[in-house]
Amino acid sequence: MIIYPAIDIQNGECVRLTKGDFATSERVAADPIETAKQFEAAGATYLHMVDLDGAKNAMAQNRDVFVSVARETGLKIELGGGIRDMNTAAYYLENGIDRIILGSMAVKNPKLLAELVREYGDRIIVGIDAEDGMVKTEGWLASGRVNYITLAKEMFHIGVKHLIYTDISRDGTLTGPNLADLKKLREAVRMNIIASGGIRNVEDIRALAKIKMYGAICGKSLYKGTLDLKEAIEAAAQVEAQRAQQRPRPAGGKRKCSPNE
């Protein structure tokens, strides 16, 4: 399971929100590049970034910040917020961003989403943000009438491979992830699911790894010190190692070696 430290950008600075409420914005670091470098030094290989201004205003902002982080670090960056058209998507993907996250656009313009998937394949991630099981869009300011599992199935049929599920009611609260919803989602679709919202400590990381999440996004827990990034990465690896040991061996009791071994 991949651990994604999170950097949310508002007015060029690193901030965190609680339950997606912009009124709760709290500055947690001044320099996004230095913050990203600290995460990289702690062992991160991936980084989750969000353009909060872009999500709220329905257009990409803070572009220079994200491109600079990509250029100044070796991190693979997934970026969301304000990406609503082909030009913006192409700009980021051609300027160092590894994957882009589409939320509102995926809901409102599935034809464009399908076009992006055809063009960029698994570099397209869909972010499903839900409260009480119902999807929200426009930076979580607009409520929809679509159930999160229904939307996930639609995304799967379009060809989306990666999905971020955020329980808005837990985002930034340090109350633990919504394991029940995540389990239902994993059983409903064959996609790489990244968990977001509520992660507070290493036990939550282990719990998510045990239900075979593809990744876990960690934000406030890292900034508040309730979760150590290096420890989180190690815990996820330990669960995977234990799972590998428990897998049944081939007939005869010997593991088959690959040609590269």
The band of 261, judged by pLDDT with boundaries at 50, 70 and 90, is very low
pLDDT of residue 246: 86
- 228 tagged catalytic: no
**How does pLDDT run across 172-212, given as a tens digit for each residue?**
899 999 999 999 999 999 999 999 999 999 999 999 999 99
CATH number of the domain to which 53 belongs:
3.20.20.70
Examine the pLDDT at 254 and tell me if it is beyond 80: no
In a domain, 151, yes or no: yes
**What pLDDT does 258 receive?**
45
CB of 163 closer than 8 Å to CB of 152: yes
Q: What phi and psi values does residue 61 have, to the nearest 5 degrees? A: -135, 175
Distance CA 64, CA 82 (A): 14
Active-site position among 51, 129, 167, 181: 129
Within-domain flag for 261: no
What is the amino acid identity at position 82? G
- What is the torsion angle, in degrees rounded to the nearest 10, for the CA atoms of residue 33, residue 121, residue 213 and residue 211? 180
State yes or no: pLDDT of 143 exceeds 70: no
**Residue spans of alpha helices (H) in 101-174:** 104-108, 110-120, 148-158
Structural domain including 117 reads: 2-246
Q: pTM of the prediction? A: 0.91
Contacts with 45 (C-beta within 8 Å, 6 or more apart), sequence order: 2, 74, 75, 76
Query: Do the domain assignments include residue 74?
Result: yes
Query: Are 150 and 134 spatial neighbours (Cβ–Cβ below 8 Å)?
Result: no
Catalytic residue among 8, 51, 181, 204: 8
Instruction: Report which DSSP code applies to 59.
Output: S
Question: Is residue 69 in some structural domain?
Answer: yes
How is the chain split among helix, strand and coil, in percent rounded to 5? 40, 30, 30
Residue 252 domain-assigned (yes or no): no
β-bridge partners, 51: 9
pLDDT in tens, 96-136: 999 999 988 888 899 999 999 999 999 999 999 998 899 98
Which ranges of 123-189 would DSSP assign to H, the alpha helix?
A: 148-158, 179-188
User: How many domains, in total, are found in the chain?
Assistant: 1
Q: Is residue 253 part of a domain?
A: no
Query: According to the model, what pLDDT value does residue 259 have?
Result: 40
How far apart are the C-alpha atoms of 184 and 191, rounded to whole Å? 12
Q: What's the mean pLDDT in 32-41? A: 98
Asked whether residue 58 carries a pLDDT value surpassing 90, the answer given is: no
8 is catalytic: yes
